Amino acid sequence: QVQLVESGGGSVQAGGSLRLSCVGSGYALRNARIAWFRQDPGKEREGVASIYNDTTPTYADSVKGRFTISGDYAKNTLYLQMNNLKPEDTSSYYCAADSVGRGWLGKLDRNRYNYWGQGTQVTVSS
């Protein structure tokens, strides 16, 4: 059984930093495209960043230059380093993995991913 478990969310003031972690079990994350998404109540889940093994990551324009996605495959863990946080970054953050290989879908397309974590809340105050 594949599980993704996020941690590291919390409350921070604008300009601050947080690092989210996503630990995988039951599947080797190095074999999948993995990503971070975020979602606000009543809104669609939005792709934030995606990476496949050690290839060049993909970022949403809204987080470029501030967020960094990385993987420690020895620990089967995905990270999202978030710097210079803004109030508009407030959201529930989810990690996801595409184990099927739906390469015809965009790297930040939520429909590409078949495994999801339960989410972790990030709140940024002004």
**Which token pair is 92?**
């529930």
With the CA atoms of 97, 45, 21 and 24 taken in that order, what torsion angle do they form, in degrees rounded to the nearest 10? -30
Coil, helix or strand at residue 87? helix
Would you call 38 helix, strand, or coil by DSSP?
strand
Encode 16-34 in three state secondary structure.
CCEEEEEEEECCCHHHCEE
Contact 94, 34 (CB under 8 A): no
Q: For residue 42, what pLDDT is reported?
A: 92
Report residue 124: phi and psi, to 5°.
-115, 120
pLDDT given at position 54 = 78
- pLDDT tens per residue across all 126 residues of the chain: 899 999 999 999 999 999 999 999 999 999 999 999 999 999 999 999 999 987 999 999 999 999 999 999 999 999 999 999 999 999 999 999 999 988 899 999 999 999 999 999 999 999
E-state strands within 42-102 = 46-52, 58-59, 67-72, 77-82, 91-98
Which pLDDT value is given to residue 110? 97
Query: Do the Cβ atoms of 22 and 117 come closer than 8 Å?
Result: yes
- What's the pLDDT score for residue 103? 87
Q: Which two tokens stand for residue 18?
A: 């947080």
Q: Using the 8-state DSSP alphabet, how is residue 57 labeled?
A: P
For 88-112, what is each residue's pLDDT tens digit? 999 999 999 999 988 899 999 999 9
Q: Output the pLDDT for position 16.
A: 98
